[in-house]
Amino acid sequence: MQKAGKMTTKRKITSQDVADLAGVSRSAVSRSFTPGSYVSDNVRTRVLGAAKELGYLPNILARGLIAGSSGLVALIIGPMTSPQDAPLIEVVTRLLGEKGKRALLVPIPTGGLADEGLLQALSYQVEAAIVFAGTVGAAAAERCTRIGTHLTLFGRYIGEAGTSCVIYDNPTSADAATRLLIRGGHRKIGYIGTRHRAFSDRERHDAASAVLAEYGMHFHCYGEGDYGHDSGFQAAMAMLNTMDPPDAIFASNDAMALGVIDAARVLGISIPDQLAVVGIDDHPMGSWPAYRLTSWGAKIDVLGDAILRATFDKESLPCDRANVHMLRVPLYPALRDSTRRLD
């Protein structure tokens, strides 16, 4: 009888225990749990039966490290401020699972450096790292290249040879959005970008500015946000509560554009008669009856496929002068009620 106050610690079941019960070698146990490895049906049945009886589960991470491949892919993510963030992470995680990989989520603060999270992920022997948030320093990128960990950046760029970048076709979409506003008769166009001047935001701003310059115009006013709805709302409130407000606002992403529409609603400003609004992303929320936002975007599944292609099939992509593998994702317009209809 066990004495009161004392506890027994149950020994952890190992692959050797499974091998002994099944009457096979440890290597046969390992092969039975490894997809694609050869083992007879009889041996696999005995091993799986013994494992079930003992309650054994293989240590996938340890097996991967022994084989030289952890199967882990780090996803460097920031706060989910944009409506697009969570669905995209979900799609990428699902696609990784279909390839037999597992996602390791590594969060970083808004606008922070991704370097610390990236270096933390490398300690888990990840096969690749996909950066969705923050900025990556040259030293961290070079370290990934040096140790053979592939680095993919989404919506950002770093000139480190061997890395991959998946980027929207920002110049083309920003050009089209700005021309749409000008054709709609708008001459006081405001812009809401990011406080940290993210790569995609700079491309959108610069392309829109170039179109305005063609018509002898410039942005009427500016606002800053963090890609979130609340920051777009606050920026729009400040821009619209003036003696000379804009008659159109180009927001650098949909979440901030939705915030602009809500601000206009609070102030009693009619959309699109008094204020036109455009965004980038074409998130499903933008199609809701309360918003009907005009936007440019790509399907989430298309983005997920592009990210995995850049990560696992980068050699099929063109390289720029810095030998960075580039994949530009085209964006398509969704013309809705937040802009004037053109004949």
Q: Is the pLDDT of residue 208 over 80?
A: yes
pLDDT at 103 over 60: yes
Segment 32-42 shows an average pLDDT of 78
* pTM, rounded to two decimals: 0.76
Region 91-119: mean pLDDT is 84
pLDDT per position as a tens digit, 220-244: 999 999 888 999 999 999 999 999 9
In contact, 296 and 280? CB cutoff 8 Å:
yes
Rounded CA-CA distance 340/100 in Å is 48
What SS3 class is residue 74?
strand
What is the per-residue DSSP string for 262-308? Answer: HHHHHHT--TTTT-EEEEEE--GGGGSTTT--EEEE--HHHHHHHHH
Output the pLDDT for position 67: 52
What is the rounded average pLDDT for all residues in the chain? Answer: 87
Counting residues of the chain whose pLDDT is more than 70, the rounded percentage is 91
pLDDT of residue 90 exceeding 70, the answer is: yes
- Exposure of 147 by Cβ count < 10 A (0-12 exposed, 13-18 middle, 19+ buried)? exposed
Minimum mean pLDDT range among 22-36, 59-73, 253-267, 284-298:
59-73
Q: Which residue has the higher pLDDT, 287 or 51?
A: 287
Query: What is the four-CA torsion angle of 124, 130, 134, 139, rounded to 10 degrees?
Result: 60
CA separation for the pair 203, 207 (Å, rounded): 6
List pLDDT tens digits, range 297-336: 999 999 999 999 999 998 888 888 888 899 999 999 999 9
Q: Is 80 exceeded by the pLDDT of residue 61?
A: no
Res. 1: pLDDT tops 70: no
Task: Go through the domains of the chain in sequence order and give each one's CATH number.
Answer: 15-58 (1.10.260.40), 67-168+301-329 (3.40.50.2300), 170-296 (3.40.50.2300)
Amino acid at 340: R
What pLDDT is recorded for position 193? Answer: 95
| Whole-number pLDDT of residue 332 | 95
Tokens 């002898």 correspond to what residue? 216
Q: Could you read off the pLDDT of 182-201 as tens digits, one per residue?
A: 999 999 999 999 887 788 89
